[in-house]
Amino acid sequence: MNKIKKKVEYINGVMKNVRNINKNDFKAFYDDLNSADCIVLVGEGRSQSALYIGMGQMDKWVRTMADVDFPGRNIVEAAPVLEKKHDRIALLVSSGSGETATPKIVVKQLSDYIEREHSDKFTIDVVVSNPNSSIGIIREKEYGNMVELRGREKKSNRINNAFLKHGIMNDVYELGSLLLFQKTKEAINEKKGYKAVFEGMEKESKVIVKIVDEFVSSDNCEEVIDKLETRSSVTMGGLGPARNVAMMTAIRLQHVKRAIGDEAYLSGPFAPRPRAGDILFLISWSGETEPLQGWCREQKKYGGLAYSIVGNESTLSRESNSFIIDSSPTTFYERATFALSPLPLYLVERLRERGFKLPEYIMEWWQHSVTQ
């Protein structure tokens, strides 16, 4: 058990970061979201997935610019329409670096619109690790609020260059933001004050640690790592919020699998047809989603391996090697994300033990995650 806890030490880093959020900054941020009747979500990559999971199932009109019913091709086109339909609109942005391309552009466009049109209906509320970034400095505007969430540490130039090329694999910021958004959503839905967010995060942290410990010490986790190190592809699958959970895991697994000559995919039209020995990992709260059951059966028909994380004893749990998280649908996707987060870390450790030479940027990421 001590060995297991050491391997997931970064979870403690996540919890430390959310506890250290400035409560005064967060109160203004929370008040904006609580008073808004429309919230527009903006992010990229895993930060975007964490934002979508955390703010999903909210009792407000929550949209992204990719939604088919979003009233414009961009925020500039949409802003006048949103002003007519809503009393208060919050642009909610998550970017660890504070320099991510799309969020930075959208923040600049809406800021220009607000000042040009003298609009008093919009707020821009951002979560970043770098308060002095292009996105973070929106706090200097009357309509802007920023929450600083640690998690994106500065690296040497050598490692930074590798991250620019391959991507940052550490999930500390993304997991912290997920927990923050999840408890913010719950507090707003339950009509509670901002302090309930911190109380909720503290309570949830104990549950998360228990779930992660149970998952990494399960036979399923050990078996998945055994299969991941073999010559095989892995596909992560889910629909709705589960698809964002699958995406966050697939992105990180892809780095390691590519380094050993394999691939990791997100389920969908670009995922390959199953072959013997390939891995399918499905996420579903109900375990009764028919398309996922179909994917599972097809995987097994062709000799592939099927695993799942579910919220209930269900058809999917019976037809795959399954780990059950006892949870409401509101919290399931957040907890499933935390449970799956150690998989790439375990795979790197297994390959290292075998003497397999991995790129330096992966080993730096692995070492940072273990010791953090």
Task: Classify residue 115: in a domain, yes or no.
Answer: yes
**Domain around 315:** 208-371
Is the same domain home to 167 and 305?
no
Is residue 13 in a domain?
Answer: no
Domain limit, last residue, from 203, 235, 268: 203
Establish if 303 belongs to a structural domain. yes
Check whether residue 239 and residue 115 sit in a common domain.
no
Q: Are residues 31 and 132 in the same domain?
A: yes
Q: Does a structural domain hold residue 70?
A: yes
- CATH number of the domain encompassing residue 283: 3.40.50.10490
Q: In the prediction, which pLDDT does 104 show?
A: 98
| Same domain for 54 and 41 | yes
Residues of the chain with pLDDT under 70: 1-8, 152-170, 367-372
Residues 88-105 have pLDDT tens digits of 999 999 999 999 999 999
pLDDT at 162: 42
Q: Look at residue 12 in the predicted model and tell me its pLDDT.
A: 84
* Final residue belonging to a domain, choices 166, 188, 203: 203
Q: Are residues 253 and 279 in the same domain?
A: yes
57-93, pLDDT tens digit by residue?
A: 899 999 999 999 999 999 999 999 999 999 999 999 9
Tell me, yes or no, whether 65 and 198 share the same domain: yes
- Spatial CA neighbour of 257 closest among 282, 227, 219: 227
Whether residues 296 and 212 fall in one domain: yes
Based on the structure, what is the number of domains in the chain? 2
- 216 and 171 fall within a common domain: no
Query: Do 78 and 134 sit in the same domain of this protein?
Result: yes
106 in a structural domain:
yes
If asked whether residues 219 and 183 sit together in one domain, one would say no
Whether 117 and 166 share a structural domain: yes
Asked whether residue 260 is domain-assigned, the answer is yes
